[in-house]
Amino acid sequence: MLTNFRSYGILDLRVEPGHVVLVGPNGAGKTNVLEALSTLAPGRGLRGARLGDLSRMAPGDATPRPWAVSATVSNAGGDVQLGVGFMPGGEESGGAKRAVRIDGVPASNPAQLAERVRLIWLTPAMDRLFIDGVSERRRFLDRLIGGFDPAHTRLWNAYEGAMRERLGALRAGAQAAWLDALERTMAEAAVALAASRLAGLRLLAQTMDGQRASAFPHAEVSLSGAVEDRLASAAAVEVEDQFAALLAVARGSDAEAGRTSVGPHATDFVVRHRDKGREAQVCSTGEQKALLIRLILAGAALPAPGVAETPILLLDEIGAHLDEGRRRALFDEIDALGVQAWMTGTDASYFSALDGRAQIRRVADGAIRPI
């Protein structure tokens, strides 16, 4: 149920178990539905938009209205009722938080959502993931790992919080002893985060190794980052000391730049097409998409400790860039995972191979109807 979300005033959408395909012309509101579902995951949603931008703006509207998304997620363990809402107006005062309810009970931390539903998405914007900046790739990797390891998201939040606190103290001209303590905390958080990433990558690699032949290329994954690189050859306590020392040296330049120059927030996620022996960024557009799909399928195949549900995949414009054979293979591999996928496309014929395995709905004029 969507209320004042993007192009929807009110949308009450009921689906059966199994895949959901949304087709309709450009601008019909297909991606908006996937984006609404993505607000039920911690962090910024599928478009990385600010919460206030999700609010429905009709012509002539001066101020955004409150929006809400609520969903009943059914799984083997029963039903869970998830609700997310946002009240515009608090942005400046720092109150720009979404309100989260789980089974009607307010949840203080949106990270709790990750324990109730796993959402994994792939969007056309990710087509440039291997070409654009390091931070997009880093975010993709952390989200992918967070999908099967909810503790990973908390480690990221702890590191980011520590980094912010140190920068604030630098700006305020804090005493060296205080900075020493903050950098020690930050170094511990950095090493915990980096170790969790390395463990996550190992699991993804093992999963790809163990999967039977896939139509999607094996992605060789590695990290390039100050802390991760050192962890390969030194004990965690040593790496903590080294990183704390690096931070101490960088105080002056970090204070001047207003940002932290080194650390796991600047780590790059390096992907190679194993069979082609080539870095992802020099692969073709279709090959890059196929590598991303392989990574996402591996993430979706991993069990998540403490999370009972199988994931839900949100695949926006999935027909684009995939030839007929790969599209068919993708549907088969998703089916084999036993997950629910929500897919969008402008053309129903992209999904003909799914006949009988999906609910195909047409999106038009702010409504969604079966076809």
Ligand X SMILES: Nc1ncnc2c1ncn2[C@@H]1O[C@H](COP(=O)(O)OP(=O)(O)OP(=O)(O)O)[C@@H](O)[C@H]1O
Residues that bind ligand X (CB under 6 A): 6-7, 24, 26-32, 55-57, 346
Rounded least distance, CB 26 to Mg ion, Å: 7
For the beta carbon of residue 232, count every other beta carbon within 10 angstroms.
Answer: 10
Residues in contact with 167: Cβ distance below 8 Å, sequence separation at least 6, in sequence order: 254, 258, 259, 260
Kindly tell me which of 232 and 367 has the beta carbon lying closer to ligand X.
367
Rounded least distance, CB 36 to ligand X, Å: 9
- Between strands 268-273 and 8-11, the pairing is unpaired
341 binds, among ligand X, Mg ion, none (CB under 5 to 8 A by kind): none
What residues between 186 and 205 interact with Mg ion by CB under 5 A?
A: none
Start-end of H helices in 211-280: 226-231, 236-249, 251-257
Kindly tell me which of 57 and 174 has the beta carbon lying closer to ligand X.
57
The phi, psi pair for 210, rounded to 5°, reads -85, -10
| Dihedral Cα 146, 152, 156, 159, nearest 10 deg | 180
Kindly tell me which of 186 and 314 has the beta carbon lying closer to Mg ion.
314
Kindly tell me which of 29 and 83 has the beta carbon lying closer to ligand X.
29
Rounded least distance, CB 43 to ligand X, Å: 19
4, 31, 196, 260: residue in contact with Mg ion (rule CB under 5 A): 31
Please give the Cα distance from 143 to 220 (Å, whole number): 18
Query: Which residue has 């089974």 as its token pair?
Result: 103
- The answer for 109, left when phi > 0, alpha when psi is -120 to 50, beta otherwise, is beta
> Side by side, which strands form the sheet with 119-122?
119-122, 312-315, 340-345, 19-23, 358-364, 367-370
Rounded least distance, CB 369 to ligand X, Å: 14
Q: Of the candidates 96, 225, 86, 250, which has an alpha carbon nearest to the alpha carbon of residue 167? A: 250
Applying CB under 5 A, the span of 24-32, 72-80, 96-104, 333-341 interacting with Mg ion comes to: 24-32
The site that binds Mg ion (CB under 5 A) totals a number of residues, namely 1
56 binds, among Mg ion, ligand X, none (CB under 5 to 8 A by kind): ligand X
Locate 162 and state its tokens.
């520590």
Rounded least distance, CB 311 to ligand X, Å: 22
Q: What one-letter code names the amino acid at 16? A: E
Applying CB under 5 A, the span of 31-39, 198-206, 210-218, 225-233 interacting with Mg ion comes to: 31-39
Rounded least distance, CB 67 to ligand X, Å: 9
Kindly tell me which of 46 and 162 has the beta carbon lying closer to ligand X.
46
Kindly tell me which of 57 and 255 has the beta carbon lying closer to ligand X.
57
Kindly tell me which of 46 and 280 has the beta carbon lying closer to Mg ion.
46
26 binds, among ligand X, Mg ion, none (CB under 5 to 8 A by kind): ligand X
For the beta carbon of residue 73, count every other beta carbon within 10 angstroms.
Answer: 18
4 binds, among Mg ion, ligand X, none (CB under 5 to 8 A by kind): none
Rounded least distance, CB 359 to ligand X, Å: 17
Rounded least distance, CB 356 to ligand X, Å: 24
Q: Of the candidates 101, 137, 122, 112, which has an alpha carbon nearest to the alpha carbon of residue 38? A: 122
Question: Which residue's Cβ lies closest to Mg ion?
Answer: 31
Which CA distances in Å does 245 have to 12, 131, 301?
Answer: 55, 33, 39
Whether the CB-CB separation of 261 and 250 falls below 8 Å is answered with yes
Whether the CB-CB separation of 99 and 86 falls below 8 Å is answered with yes
Kindly tell me which of 3 and 31 has the beta carbon lying closer to Mg ion.
31
Chain residues in the site for Mg ion (CB under 5 A)? 31
